[in-house]
């Protein structure tokens, strides 16, 4: 039986990448050791780091006046790093709240600056959406505008970029590399790795170079973008194996046509699943069509007494990790870049058969 992993993160990795990592696990590059055992400052690993950055720059068409950093701490680490690096304690950061993760960013930022927030969600007839145009105007003391283009828990994606005269900061942890964007629209993009990049333990930061150099004095050096940039993301030992695997994922994407090609597949997968839900009498998605996530499809069973049976039988059919986040319930199918179209087709077929026999 083929198993399809719909986990929201840590999430599935490309099968080709996993096979290569398995083959190289004990003897990488002919060295007779694993890549995780060699010095991060060795010439061999420095090549891994350089190629990873070059490949990511190519995939995202990152301008030359942006710095790429590979850092510790995942997305939550960046909730603190952003205000510490981009604002002083007396300044404000405007946070657009569209779901669970953007709300969590406000809580963390409030420890270091004045963390203003604007809830940009709306609800009409039980349908939930979000609109960046609902944001409050920024004041003269606002250092940045922060938002989360894709909310993994809530299944809400924002396809418009906020407009402001200050740097736009985007938490792209769950949709980076899933569709084409214009990096120049942003002052800073960050993403934890464990969804569309690689395994957990790594965060990628893409920051306009002119924004470096203004960290608050108490900023921990491990979160200081300037220190990271000056030391090629190696002020201390980085999560080398996560970095190596992320580099393999970048190469996999390039070999498969880059971001434009994977976006076409992602849109096809999402359209197939949403169409099946909309045609169903048992399953329902309550997200406004213009905000339906390409990466995290949330849905509910109208008869919630069937939830446990649905999850049990889905695993029996090789469809894993479909349980929704504990804070919202229901179901969630995370269909990141590595999820093949065949996986979504199998899920749709299972849902249709489940409804035919149980609905």
Q: Which residues on adjacent β-strands are paired with residue 296?
A: 334
In the set 101, 154, 243, 252, the catalytic residue is 101
In the set 28, 116, 154, 195, the catalytic residue is 195
Neighbours of 173 (CB within 10 A): 26
Residues in the chain: 359
Task: Report DSSP letters for 64-130, one per residue.
Answer: TTEEEEEESSHHHHHHHHHHHHH--TTSEEEEEE-SHHHHHHHHHHTTTSEEEEEE-EEEETTEEEE
Sign, Cα dihedral of 192, 197, 201, 207: negative
Task: Say how far apart CA 81 and CA 219 lie, in whole Å.
Answer: 8
Q: Give the pairing type, strands 92-97 and 319-320.
A: unpaired
- Cα separation values, 339 from 12, 27, 268, 310, Å: 7, 28, 12, 21
Report angle CA 157, 192, 277 to the nearest 5 degrees: 35
- Cα separation values, 245 from 19, 180, 189, Å: 11, 22, 20
Nearest to 49 by CA among 33, 70, 29, 78: 70
- Whether 101 is catalytic: yes
In the set 55, 171, 252, 323, the catalytic residue is 171
Cβ contact 263:179 at 8 Å: yes
List all residues 6 or more positions away from 212 whose beta carbon is below 8 Å from its beta carbon: 67, 85, 225, 226, 229
Neighbours of 260 (CB within 10 A): 10
Q: Which residues on adjacent β-strands are paired with residue 189?
A: 170, 206
Alpha helices in 110-236 (DSSP H): 225-230
Q: Which residues are catalytic?
A: 101, 171, 195
């Amino acid at each position: 039986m083929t198993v399809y992993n719909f986990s929201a993160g840590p999430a599935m990795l490309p099968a080709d990448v996993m096979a290569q990592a398995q083959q190289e696990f004990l003897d990488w590059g002919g060295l007779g050791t694993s890549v995780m055992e060699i010095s991060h400052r060795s010439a061999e690993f420095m090549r891994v780091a350089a190629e990873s950055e070059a490949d990511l720059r190519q995939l995202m068409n990152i301008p030359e006046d942006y710095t790429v950093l590979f850092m510790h701490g995942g997305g939550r680490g960046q909730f603190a790093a952003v205000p510490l690096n981009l604002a002083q304690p007396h300044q404000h950061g405007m946070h657009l709240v569209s779901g669970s993760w953007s709300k969590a960013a406000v809580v963390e930022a409030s420890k270091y600056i004045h963390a203003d927030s604007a809830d940009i969600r709306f609800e009409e007839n039980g349908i939930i959406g979000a609109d960046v145009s609902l944001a409050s105007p920024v004041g003269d003391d606002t250092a940045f505008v922060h938002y989360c283009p894709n909310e993994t828990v809530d299944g809400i994606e924002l396809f418009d970029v906020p407009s402001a005269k200050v740097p736009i900061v985007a938490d792209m942890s769950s949709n980076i590399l899933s569709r084409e964007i214009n990096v120049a629209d942003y002052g800073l993009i960050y993403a934890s790795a464990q969804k569309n990049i690689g395994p957990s333990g790594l965060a990628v930061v893409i920051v306009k170079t002119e924004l470096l150099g203004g960290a608050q004095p108490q900023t921990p050096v491990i979160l200081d973008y300037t220190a990271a940039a000056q030391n090629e993301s190696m002020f201390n030992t980085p999560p080398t194996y996560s970095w190596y695997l992320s580099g393999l994922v970048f190469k996999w994407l390039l070999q498969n046509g880059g971001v434009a090609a994977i976006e076409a597949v992602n849109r096809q997968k999402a359209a197939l699943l949403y169409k099946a839900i909309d045609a169903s009498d048992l399953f329902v998605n309550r997200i406004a069509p213009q905000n339906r996530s390409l990466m995290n499809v949330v849905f509910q069973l109208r008869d919630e007494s069937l939830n446990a049976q649905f999850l049990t039988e889905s695993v029996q059919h090789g469809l894993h990790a479909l349980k929704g986040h504990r804070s919202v319930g229901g179901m969630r199918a995370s269909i990141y870049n590595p999820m093949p179209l065949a996986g979504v087709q199998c899920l749709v077929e299972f849902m249709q058969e489940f409804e035919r026999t149980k609905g």
